[in-house]
Amino acid sequence: MIKLLVSETPHDIWVVAELGNGAPTPLTLEMTYGARMAADRMGFYVKVAVLGSSLPDSSASLIQAGADRVYLIDDPAFAATGVASHEPWLKALSDLFVAQSPEFVLLGATPVNEELAPRLAQRFGGGLISRCMTLRVDDFDRAFVGRRAVYGGDYDEVVATSGPAPQFATVLRDCFGPPYLDASRFGDTEKIEIEMGDHSPRSEAERGWRLPQLEAVDFQMPKPKLKKARRIVSVGRQVGDVETAKQLASVLGAEFAGAREAIDEGYIDESQVVGITGACVSPDLYIALGIRGDTMHAFGMQDARFVVAVHPDPEAPIFKQADVAIVGDPTKVAGELMKLISNA
């Protein structure tokens, strides 16, 4: 065992390893390989922390994947599982990072690490990006830049870390691609000792924690923004029975909206307006009931993939945008649509 040498200047890219069946997991090897590619551009070393109880010799594959140095921290405190077992991991990694001052830290987006990463980031005041599908290191701004899924996977967003080092990120499989294991690489392996003190796992009762008294509260999930809706039933002045249109929207699982003229009739509010002065939408299905279709409204719905328009006037301009144009009573057509859906 050796004691850690202290470094005050942030440097290097670190990977927190996870083991499975006595060997680094595929995600750990992939992160090490990804760290290697980034480190080569920045002149950094790649260091890997392996924590566990009765650790096997797993450093060879980590070095082949790109590690320059592997730190083994073997302690019985890491044998426990459960929420309380996070404490020794936090203690060990915190002491390790205080001594070594990493600039970037990678963890796999696993249940354990999704608990650890935000706690580590909070302790060090560093930035965190979670569950990255792609990730790179910006060597100019010294930040992680990652892409992750939002809105249940329907969209992606690109985010970057900020704040002091270290910067943290958790990544999903295939973030960096399959690792190349270079058998000719060599590196160092060090077994280090960290004083765990009183940070062995304990139950909440032993810590003196008590859950607060909980009370039921009324809560409604916020509605998704209209511009993100996959289906929309939209109404105009000639809709007829607006309640039937709302029922159709409910049956379809669609958002209820309208042209600006529908506000004057009291059918919708400002947040439900489709048009150049409201929301510009791009649903898979757009059903327009009783909307004549002026230029203002046409602009807001022009990106809809499939448009069904129902209007009593065969000369209504909205028919020019429709994939299915129905001349008739919007209330009757909406009712027939609901019958067809119910019998499907």
> Which stretches of 202-318 are assigned E, i.e. beta strand?
231-235, 255-258, 285-289, 307-311
CA atoms of 50 and 46, how far apart (whole Å): 13
pLDDT band at 310 (very low <50, low <70, confident <90, very high): very high
Domain with CATH 3.40.50.620 in the chain: 11-197
Q: Looking at 163-172, 200-209, 323-332, which range is the least confident one?
A: 200-209
Provide the token pair at 242. Answer: 């607006």
- Architecture of the domain defined by 11-197: 3-Layer(aba) Sandwich (3.40)
Q: What is the pLDDT of residue 84?
A: 45
User: Position 293: which residue type?
Assistant: G
**Residue 311: strand pairing partners:** 327
Start-to-end Cα distance in the chain? 70
Cβ–Cβ contacts within 10 Å for residue 7, how many?
A: 13
Report the pLDDT value the prediction gives residue 1, as an integer from 0 to 100: 44
Specify the domain boundaries for CATH 3.40.50.1220 within the chain. 226-343
If you search the block for the tokens 């569950």, which residue do you land on? 131
Residue-level pLDDT at 3:
47
pLDDT at 312 over 50: yes
Q: Residue 213 — very low, low, confident or very high, per pLDDT cuts 50/70/90?
A: low
The string of pLDDT tens digits covering residues 241-267 is 999 999 999 999 899 999 999 998 899
Q: What is the DSSP letter of 165?
A: S
* Residue 221 clears pLDDT 70, i.e. is over it: no
Instruction: Categorize the per-residue pLDDT at 2 as very low, low, confident or very high, splitting at 50, 70 and 90.
Output: very low
The 10s digit of each residue's pLDDT in 139-190 is 888 899 999 988 777 788 999 998 888 999 999 999 999 999 999 999 999 9
The DSSP letter of residue 274 is B
**pLDDT tens digits for 9-64?**
778 999 999 998 889 999 999 999 999 999 998 889 999 999 988 888 889 999 99
Q: What integer pLDDT is reported at residue 203 of this predicted model?
A: 47
Alpha helices in 130-231 (DSSP H): 204-207
Reported as a single tens digit per residue, the pLDDT across 59-118 is 999 999 999 999 999 888 887 654 446 788 888 999 999 988 999 999 999 988 998 999
Select 226-343's CATH number: 1.10.10.10, 3.40.190.10, 3.40.50.1220, 3.20.20.70: 3.40.50.1220
User: Which secondary-structure segment (H or E) carries 153?
Assistant: none
8 Å CB contact between 231 and 282: no
Q: Collect all residues with Cβ–Cβ distance below 8 Å to 294 and sequence separation of at least 6.
A: 259, 317
**Residue 224, pLDDT score:** 61
Measured CA to CA, the distance from residue 282 to residue 272 in angstroms comes to 14
